[in-house]
Amino acid sequence: MQSQKKSAIQPERDIGKQLRAVGITPTQQRVQIAEILFARPQHLSADQILASVNSLGTTASKATIYNTLGLFARRGLIREVIVDPVKVFYDSNTSTHHHFFNLDSGELTDIDADKVVVTNLPELPGDTQLEGIDIIFRVRSSHPHEEN
Amino acid sequence: MQSQKKSAIQPERDIGKQLRAVGITPTQQRVQIAEILFARPQHLSADQILASVNSLGTTASKATIYNTLGLFARRGLIREVIVDPVKVFYDSNTSTHHHFFNLDSGELTDIDADKVVVTNLPELPGDTQLEGIDIIFRVRSSHPHEEN
DNA sequence: TCAGTAAATTAGATAAAGTCTATTTTGTTG
DNA sequence: CAACAAAATAGACTTTATCTAATTTACTGA
């Protein structure tokens, strides 16, 4: 035992194991990114993650952020949410759920899967397999809506 | 009557009326863009529309394409479809329907509204009003899926 | 018909997200 | 610790979209 605090949880270790479990070598940057994402269920942009990582002493380049997020997404650790035409959100909640997207604030919030019931799924186009279903409720903050 | 062909349909005239009906001054560029979009229900990117317009003799600048598409969307003539992280699709079918998005080909296809039944809508977050619901079935062309 | 004015269009500069490349650094394994 | 593969990096580059300042067009009323 390498004389380390032992009572404290060791998120690095845990997260390292989790990453290894899905075949990802837990490098410093990846662990850092994972810690930020998995601190709680949330929706973050690549930019926000870059800023978080770099404000915590650790550093990671933009390329690494994108590489890592892509990797995590392909491995099913996070989910890409495409609702904002200018940027992708990375959702650390991978259980089935849907989203509200506030067009005015750009805010993204979760909707529990059981709040929406979808029946009668359409049959898929020939030779395709389903990757996922995204259900997005686009809302606006209620103020007399200007239209022009 | 200004000695014009009369038997032929006059799409410019019709589209002009349609645009006026929603308070849009039918300029040459707008009519051209509308003609392309409304020729049939389809999903086009700004880039494709720009190329179409400019291949037809008429010209429109990039700025006008974006201005016009934004205007049409705000007026409810077309619907913005956000499924591809790199570009927006403009859908000339404004009746309620959903989409398949093929992640491999980037192809977007319609799903009739009656093919998907959604019950149990969630209650909206405080002080928001619903603008629309997007349901996207993300599919992949079926070939042994590589994951890395 | 024409002048005046507001609305629309334009070229090109700019912004921002994301990707790519060539190089360096790190991690692992014997 | 040497050697090799995997990962990280800086910064150039690409693409979509927006913005700006100037020009052109379309409509109005006399």
Name the one residue in this structure whose structure tokens are 């003539």: B77
Q: What pLDDT does B3 receive?
A: 33
- pLDDT for position B14: 85
A-to-B residue pairs, Cβ atoms closer than 8 angstroms? 132
Give the pLDDT confidence score for residue B147 in this predicted structure.
Answer: 60
Q: What is the pLDDT of residue A146?
A: 59
pLDDT tens-digit map of B10-54:
455 589 999 999 999 999 999 999 999 999 999 999 999 999 999
Residues of B in contact with A145 (CB under 8 A): 129
Q: Classify strands A128-141 and A79-84 as parallel, antiparallel or unpaired.
A: unpaired
DSSP string computed for A21-77: HTT----HHHHHHHHHHHTSS-EEEHHHHHHHHHHTS----HHHHHHHHHHHHHTTS
Cα distances (Å, whole numbers) of residue A76 to A19, A50, A73, A93, A117: 11, 20, 5, 10, 24
For the segment 69-98 of chain A, residues whose CB is within 7 A of strand D: 85-86
Q: At what angle do helices A62-74 and A28-38 cross, to 10 degrees?
A: 70
pLDDT of residue B144: 53
**Tokens in use for A68?**
């890592």
In whole angstroms, C29 C1' to A25 CA is 15
Residue A19 has pLDDT above 90, yes or no: yes
Q: Please, what are the domains in chain B?
A: 11-139 (1.10.10.10)
- From CA A80, how far away is CA B107, in angstroms rounded? 18
Condensed to tens digits (0 to 9), the pLDDT of residues A50-69 reads 999 999 887 899 999 999 99
Distance from residue B27's CA to nucleotide C2's C1', rounded to whole Å: 22
Q: How far is the CA of A49 from the C1' of C28 (A)?
A: 28
Nucleotides of D under 7 A from a protein CB: 6-12, 15-20, 25-27
Give nearest nucleotide to A86 (CA–C1').
C17
Chain A residue with CA closest to B68: the answer is A148
